[in-house]
Amino acid sequence: MAACCKGSGLHHEMGSKNEVKQKISKEEKKLMKKQAKVKHILLKHEGVETVSHPSKSLVIANGGLGNGVGRHRLLTVLEQCGKVESLVMPPNKPYSFVTYTSTDEAVNAYSSLSGHEISSNEWEQKITLYFSFVDKVELKEVLPPALPPGLVIIEEFVTSEEELAMLEGVDWTSDIASLPGFCTSVVERCLQQGLIKHKPDQLTVNQYEPGQGIPPHIDTHSAFEDEIISISLGSEIVMEFKHPNDSNVQVMLPQRSLLIMSGESRYLWTHGITPRKFDVVQDSEGQKVKTISGNIEELTLKKRGTRTSFTFRKVRRNACDCAFPSVCDSQQSQEKEAAPQVSVLGVEALEKEYVHKVYEDIAGHFSSTRHTPWPKVVDFLVTLPDGAIVADIGCGNGKYLGINKNLYMIGCDRSKNLVNICGEKKFEASVCDALDVPFRAGSFDACLSIAVIHHFATEERRLRALIELTGLLRSGGKALIYVWAMEQEYNKKKSKYLKENKNNKEQKTLNIQDGGLKPDTNTVLPVHTNRTTFESRDLLVPWHLKPSTRPNSTVTSKQSNEEEQGPRSVYHRYYHVFHDGELEGLCRKLENITILQSYYDQGNWCVILEKS
Ligand SMILES: O=C(O)CCC(=O)C(=O)O
Ligand SMILES: [Fe+2]
Ligand SMILES: [Zn+2]
C-alpha cells in the first residue's frame, strides 16, 4: 500500500512537472506566434523592417505614443535591461524604437520584456509590449512643420491676474448682451499692438475638461470676418491644423497665450482639438517650438488640465470674398443663392419669411420626416388622466394628437398645409398663431408646445408665446415645453466620447453677441452648417427639400422666370437656440406658474409647468 502510495505520489509529481513545462512552452509558442504577427503588421502597415538577428535596436510594438504610452513610463521599463542610448517615439504611432548601448542589453530586453505588460497613461488599461530587432531606426526626418500661413501665437499674452479675472468672470448661465468688461483690456491690447485690425463683437467661451475636444472645422466664412482670436486659459492644449491636401500641423497653445488665425489658416485650414486626456508634446522644458513633432526623439505625453478658451470673432455683415472659393460658403453658387441676407427686416417680417413661409412650402416633406414621437412627450401624454382636455400649440403634422385616445386633443399650427395634413388624419386642428390662440383661456388640463418657441425672434415674443400658452391652462393644469438647445449639435457630436468619459461631464460653451442680436437691425443671420456647433444663438438652419416634395406653384408671369430655373431646393428656417437655463429663466417670469421639472432631451431644453 505504502509503495503504491509513494508510487502514485511520484507519478503525480512527475505529472505536474510535465504540466508546468508544457504550459511554459505553450505560452512561449503563443508569444512567438504573436511576435510573428506583429512583425508582419509592422512591415505591411508601417513599413518597419524587422530582422531575425540580434542588434542594438528594437522596435517596440504597442509601446508608442499612439497607444497612450508615455516616454518616462516606457523608459523605466526599458532601463531594467540596460542603458538606453535613444528612444524614438514617433507621434501618434503605436510603436517606438529603442537603441541600447550594446547588443547584449538589447538581447536581454528582447528575451525578458517581450510580452511585458505596461499600463497606458491615456487609456488607463494594460497593454502588452512586443519586441523585434531592427537594423536601423528609421528616422524619417520630420522637420518642424511651419505654422499654417496666417497663424500667429503669442505667448504670455495674458497675465495671471487677467487670467483669473476672466475665468472667474464667466457666468455660464447668464444672458449677457455685451462683451464682459474683463475682456475689454485684452481685446484693446490686440488692437493697440496691431495684432488685429477689427474689433470683435462676438465671444465664445469653451471649456475643455481632459478628454474633451472640438471636431476639425473651419469657422463659417459667411458668419465671421477674417481675424479670429482665441485665448487659452487654465491649461495648455494641442490644437491640430489640417490643410485640404493633408498637411497636418500640431500646434501647442500654451496657457495664457493668444492665437490669431487669419488668411489661409483661418479660411483654408481646419482647426480642431482631438478629444483625449493626454497630449503628445515635446519633452524638453520650456518648449520654444510651437509645433509638435520637431524632434521625435523628445516626444512624450502630457496630462491635460481644464482649458477654457475665449474665442473672439467679428460677425460678418457682407458675403465673404476670400481667396479660397473651394471652402467658402459665400462663394459656392448654390449656397450663395441659398444664404439669404436678412437685412433691415422687422421681427415679424423675419418670422414670416423664415418661419411661416418656409413651413408652408416644406410641409409635405417636413411631415414625411416627422413620424416618430419623442418618448418623453408620449410619457407626458399617457400619464394624463382619461378625459383630459389638451391643446397642442404648434402641432405640426399632428404626430402627438393621436397618441392617447383617452384624451380630448386639439391642435393648432401657423401653417395651413400642416393643419391640412392633420385634417387628413382626422385630427382636430386649426390655423392660428401661437401669440394669439383662439381657444378659451383657463380651460385646458394640459398644453404642449413642442419645438415652437424657438421660432420667435425676440425674447419679448418668446415670453408672450409662453404667456399665451400657459393662459390656456386651468388651475392645476400642466404644460410641456420643448425648445432647441444650443448644446444639441455638440452633444450629438460628442456623444460617443462623452459615454467613454467616466464622469460624463458636459462640455461647456457660452456665446455672447455684443449688443445682442437684434433681427430688426441691419444684421445678416449666420447660416448654420449642419452637424457643427452652433456659432450663434440666432441663426438660419437650412432645409434641403427633396425634389419630389417641392411645392407646385401656380405659374404667373413673374414666377415663370423662377420656374425655368426650377423650384427652390434649399430653405432656411430661423431659430433662436436656447442655452442651458434660458428656458427656465423665461418661465420664472410667468405669473402663477411653477416649474415642476426641467430637463434636457434629444437636443432640447424642456420644462413641465403647472398653473397654480
Ligand atoms: O477652443 C478654441 O480655442 C477654439 C474654439 C473654436 O474653434 C470654435 O469655437 O470655433
Ligand atoms: Fe473654430
Ligand atoms: Zn470665404
Ligand 1: nearest atom to the Cα of 271 = 7
Length of the chain measured in residues:
612
Confidence band of 530 (pLDDT split at 50, 70, 90): low
Question: Rounded to whole angstroms, how far apart are CA atoms 357 and 352?
Answer: 6
Among the bound ligands, name the one nearest to the CA of residue 321: 3
pLDDT tens digits, residue range 27-36?
888 888 888 8
For ligand 1, residues with CB inside 6 Å are: 204, 206, 214, 219, 230, 271, 309, 311
What pLDDT, on a 0 to 100 scale, did the predictor assign at position 537? 80
Helix (H/G/I), strand (E/B), else coil: 350: helix
pLDDT-above-70 percentage for the chain? 77
ipTM of predicted assembly, 2 dp: 0.97
Q: Whose CA is nearest to atom 1 of ligand 1?
A: 309
Asked if 457 and 437 touch (Cβ cutoff 8 Å), the reply is: no
Cite the beta strand spans of 379-514 per DSSP E: 389-393, 408-413, 429-431, 444-450, 473-484, 508-513
Pairing of strands 202-208, 307-313: antiparallel
Residue to probe by mutation, ligand 1, list 166, 206, 220, most atoms within 8 Å of CB: 206
Which residues touch 137 (CB under 8 Å, ≥6 apart)?
A: 57, 86, 88, 97, 99
Centre of ligand 3 to C-alpha 321, Å, is 5
Grid coordinates belonging to 95? 510603436
Stretch (H or E) spanning 45: helix 2-46
For the segment 417-423, the average pLDDT, to the nearest whole number, is 96
Among the bound ligands, name the one nearest to the CA of residue 223: 3
Q: Of the ranges 143-147, 151-155, 450-454, 487-491, which is most confident?
A: 450-454
- Which carries the bigger pLDDT value, residue 350 or residue 56? 56
Q: How many CB atoms lie under 10 A from the CB of residue 146?
A: 11
Q: HSE of 474 in the Cβ direction (CA atoms, 13 Å)?
A: 8
Centre of ligand 2 to C-alpha 204, Å, is 10
What pLDDT, on a 0 to 100 scale, did the predictor assign at position 296? 62
What pLDDT, on a 0 to 100 scale, did the predictor assign at position 494? 41
Confidence band of 172 (pLDDT split at 50, 70, 90): confident
Max Cα-Cα span within the chain = 117
Exposed (0-12), middle (13-18) or buried (19+): which is 548, by Cβ within 10 Å? exposed
Centre of ligand 3 to C-alpha 335, Å, is 12
Name which of 101-115, 156-170, 482-496, 548-562 the model is least confident about: 548-562
Among the bound ligands, name the one nearest to the CA of residue 332: 3
What pLDDT, on a 0 to 100 scale, did the predictor assign at position 516? 39
What pLDDT, on a 0 to 100 scale, did the predictor assign at position 338? 41
Question: Rounded to whole angstroms, how far apart are CA atoms 585 and 589?
Answer: 7
Q: What is the 3-state secondary structure (H, E, C) of 523-550?
A: CCCCECCCCCCCCCCEEEEEEECCHHHC
Asked if 434 and 469 touch (Cβ cutoff 8 Å), the reply is: yes
Ligand 1: nearest atom to the Cα of 230 = 3
Helix (H/G/I), strand (E/B), else coil: 522: coil
For residue 566, pLDDT over 60 is answered with no
Centre of ligand 2 to C-alpha 234, Å, is 19
Centre of ligand 3 to C-alpha 3, Å, is 95
pLDDT tens digits, residue range 305-340?
999 999 999 988 888 988 888 888 888 754 434 444
- Which carries the bigger pLDDT value, residue 32 or residue 179? 32
Nearest to 57 by CA among 100, 26, 114: 100
Stretch (H or E) spanning 231: strand 228-233
